[in-house]
Structure 1
Amino acid sequence: MTATEVLESASTDWIAAATAVGITLRDGVAERDREGAISTAAFDLLRSSGLSRALVPTEFGGGGASHREMGDILRALGRHDSSTAVAFAMHSHLVATQVWRHKHGMDASAVFEKVSAGAILVSTGASDWVESNGRAERVAGGYRVSARKGPASGCEVGTVAVTSIRWDDAPEGPQVIHCAIPLSAQGVRIEKTWDTLGLRASGSHTIVFEEVFVPDAAVALIRPAAVWPPILNVVIGAALPLVLAAYLGIADSAVELVAASLAGRGDPHLVTSAGEMTNAYTTAADLIAAMFTDSENLGFANTDVHAARTLSRKTVAADALVETVRLAIETVGGVGYSRGCPLEMWYRDIHGCLFHPLPRAKQLRFSGHVLLGNGPLG
């Protein structure tokens, strides 16, 4: 299967399709990492190959992939181009959330039709969370909003920002408006603020909204600003398995490099180090697999308990992923510390998994509160 072959849902080899795209992109990865530039061509390939609509149900023009199959796609892509894989996971998790809604009897057809037509969704969730930020003002037919949202992975190649804006002057007290804003809308611009240790080519810049009009039809939800919103349980359950799958692809490549570089070596210290790396790698892979199993192909119940369990697995898996690549460098020796070896970039990139919601300290409080019956926010 070529990188530009349109997928047929009934017989798609999703891993082969993602691998074809990844191989096409692989030669430019190091240069894009040095320049900090997202690959526009990558997202053109993700559209033309059908991968950007893989999760959309077939009746809406998509590929009908399962949640786990979408994870396989991201994992395969992450083996070759980690920045693109993680940025693509941001689009994919938003589609997955809509699939959850569809499976639970809610209308997601408008989003599905946009994605099937080639839209790339951009998430601002990492900077929004419960209380959100920005300023919304009620005007005739909608809202006038201003905010800065970053990091927003893939925003340079995206079509629609899925975001939330704080509405402090709401009659019922401070509220949060969840809405979709076209990145082509008047008053929207991108500030290139992404200059980081790793995932440098993910295009995770800042979206700036300046007095942007959001019509009522583009508002999906209005909720209290200080109360845990059940929609975030859905986002957590849909998103984190996919996001971690992209990072697992990085760990796959690191382990494969060690196995190929040191094949047949029996030095005791190398064997021990390789065994320790295998333990960390197996822990990460098993936890991520369990996240997909418990998602029940996006049929999971919207509960605080499911979200807390997913977040706990995310923390432990993220630590194990970082440890896997660290031990890969330790096992191969000093060459792994050189920029001439891809382990150096993979080690920088793998650390990105620590910063997706929720970071360890916040996750511990969340999961602890839920266990003790306090609710996620205590």
Structure 2
Amino acid sequence: MTITISPAESQATTGSASTGTPIATPAERAARLVPLLAEGAAAADETDSFVAGNYALLKQAGLVEAGVPAELGGQGAGLAELSEMLRILARGCSSTALAFSMHTHQVAVPAWRWRQQKLQAAEPLLRRVAAERIILLSSGGSDWIGGSGEARRVEGGYRISGRKAFSSGSPAGDLMMTGAVLHEPEGESVLHFAVPMKAPEVRVLDNWRALGMRGTGSNDVLIQDLFIADAQVALKRKAGEWHPLFHIIATIAFPLIYAVYLGVAEHARDVAVDLARKRPPGEDALQLAGRMDTALQAARLAHGWMLSAIERHPPSAASVNEVMIGRALVAENAIRAVELAMELAGGAGFCRASGLERLFRDIQGARFHPLQAGPQSRYAGAMALGLPVDRIF
């Protein structure tokens, strides 16, 4: 199934879906896609298949370039708007929304740097996203602060080899924003660069078999002896410790990623309520519904805290701490809300036909993104006690 959007509508910045005029915002565009995304969600889950058709819909709707500044050809959406877009997409297909959040934050970070730090080096990439609707991948799940893979110095650049796990959206990707560890006498460094996914030295492994989020295509990506020229290296940093760039990444990326889990929890709540209304309400159902909505509201409040962290602090250890506290609270309460949704739905929720058991599995992914429970608690504790956090990740 496809969605038809006229060129004028694709570039629109005002209007309303309800009046038939051009859809203005990424959230309105996302809402229009929800029933289409939902059509293949169960099938992708059951067959471990990447949601390729849904990515085509995202491109047609102009959401790929939503976060690119308008001056560079995009929609100019900010962090809150992009979060709302992803939260709504999750109501149609959890996997589509989560995989697309990785592209979205890889656009949002350079867009923020272009606007706030006047980083002109970000402009060519952003213009490509807007003009060509290329898909960016993140290898953060396997790289993060420690880095992974190996960079070997050769004339004019480096030879890169490595295996990048949890590469969500990999079958649709054009560029992977990643890194590799360079071993030098003075210590290990991490080089950052973009990997062209169509290069012969790059291979997407069809190995994503998981409890939930099965349609994300989060396969391992194998890189074998890929040449990266010196001019292609965007950053060189010390391995195993926070760098200011990662303060920016963490502060901007995680509110986007966790908007997806909030959307999953909201979807589960609605499914459970619909199922519960088919039975006469009892005291136990009232209790479960109330506790579910309370947990869901706690997740919403925590996510709002994440979004506003960048307004209270410039990207820094302080903003990372606040975002990661919010991330822990969103995960805890979103997971709890879906658990209660399962109980409220009763036996019907246990059956695949309702879709609720899939959402129950999908929400578990909220546990596994950085900073996980242990590092997050240690980071917050070190901040509270005035101790270093450079190596807590």
Partner of 1:321: 334
> 1:110-121 to 2 correspondence within 5 Å?
110-116=124-130, 117-121=132-136
- 2:154 maps to 139
Contact 1:163 1:180 survives alignment (8 Å): yes
Q: Distance in 2 between matches of 1:265 and 1:312?
A: 39
Q: Which residue type is aligned with residue 253 of structure 1?
A: H
Task: Report how far residue 375 of structure 1 moved.
Answer: 2.4
Contact 1:9 1:64 in 2 (8 A): no
2:270 counterpart (231, 249, 256): 256
Partners of 2:275 and 2:357 lie apart in 1 by: 15
Q: Would the aligned equivalents of 1:3 and 1:17 in 2 still touch at CA under 8 Å?
A: no
Match of 1:48 among 33, 48, 60: 60
In the alignment, what sits opposite 1:331?
344
**Which whole-Å CA distance do the structure 1 matches of 2:85 and 2:240 have between them?**
36
Instruction: Give the secondary structure class of the aligned counterpart of 1:330.
Output: helix
Q: CA deviation at 1:78?
A: 0.1
- Residue 71 of structure 1 contacts residue 245 of structure 1 at CA under 8 Å; is this kept in 2? yes
Counterpart residue number, 1:310: 323
Deviation at 1:48, TM superposition (A): 1.9
1:10 to 9, 13, 22: 13
Q: Which amino acid aligns with 1:358?
A: L
Offset of 1:171 from its aligned partner? 5.1
- Of 268, 283, 287, the residue aligned with 2:283 is 268
CA distance in 2, matches of 1:150, 1:268: 46
Q: Give the C-alpha shift of residue 16 in structure 1.
A: 2.2
Equivalence for 1:230: 244
Q: Within 5 Å, give how 1:84-123 maps onto structure 2.
A: 84-102=96-114, 103-107=116-120, 108-116=122-130, 117-123=132-138
SS at match of 2:92: coil
| Mapped contact 1:91–1:121 kept (Cα < 8 A) | yes
C-alpha separation between the residues in 2 aligned to 1:183 and 1:207? 9
Structure 1 match to 2:41: 29
Residue 180 (1) aligns with residue 194 (2): yes
**Residue 247, structure 1, aligned to residue 247, structure 2:** no
Deviation, 1:135, is 1.1
Q: Are 1:304 and 1:375, in contact at CA under 8 Å, matched by a contact in 2?
A: no
Distance in structure 1 (CA, Å) of the matches to 2:60 and 2:281: 46
CA distance in 2, matches of 1:269, 1:89: 37
Matches of 1:48 and 1:257, distance apart in 2: 28
* Alignment of 1:205 onto 2:219: yes
SS at 1:53's partner residue?
coil
Query: Which amino acid is 1:128 matched to?
Result: D
Secondary structure of 1:232's counterpart equals helix
Deviation of residue 328 (structure 1)? Answer: 0.3
> For 1:128, what is the secondary structure of its paired residue?
coil
Q: Per-residue deviation at 1:186? A: 2.5
Q: Whole-Å Cα distance in 2 between the matches of residues 356 and 130 of structure 1?
A: 13
Out of 8-17 and 274-283, give the one that drifted further. 8-17
Q: Which runs of 5+ in 2 are unaligned?
A: 15-23
Distance (Å, rounded) in 2 between the aligned partners of 1:145 and 1:13 = 40
Normalized against structure 1, the TM-score is what?
A: 0.95
* Alignment partners' CA distance in 1, 2:333 and 2:12: 34
Q: What is the CA–CA distance in structure 1 between the aligned matches of 2:313 and 2:72, rounded to whole Å?
A: 22
Q: Which amino acid aligns with 2:274?
A: A
> Whole-Å Cα distance in 1 between the matches of residues 291 and 330 of structure 2?
15
Shift of 1:9: 4.7
What does residue 156 of structure 1 align with?
171
Deviates more, 1:197-206 or 1:216-225: 216-225
Q: Please tell me the root mean square deviation across aligned C-alpha atoms, in Å.
A: 1.6
Distance in 2 separating the partners of 1:9 and 1:15: 13
Equivalent position amino acid for 1:219 in 2: V
**Structure 1 residues 132-141 or 348-357, which shifts more?**
132-141
Matched, 1:218 2:218: no
Runs of 5+ unmatched residues, structure 1: none
- 2:356 aligned partner: 343
Task: Tell me if the contact between 1:181 and 1:218 (Cα under 8 Å) persists in the aligned partners.
Answer: no
> Alignment length, in residue pairs?
374
Please state if 1:284 is matched with 2:299: yes
Alpha-carbon distance between aligned partners in 2 of 1:36 and 1:258, rounded to the nearest angstrom: 25
What CA distance in whole angstroms lies between the structure 1 residues aligned with 2:112 and 2:155?
A: 32
1:281–1:324 contact (8 Å) kept in structure 2? yes
Partner SS for 1:240: helix
Answer whether contact 2:36 2:92 (CA < 8 A) is retained: no
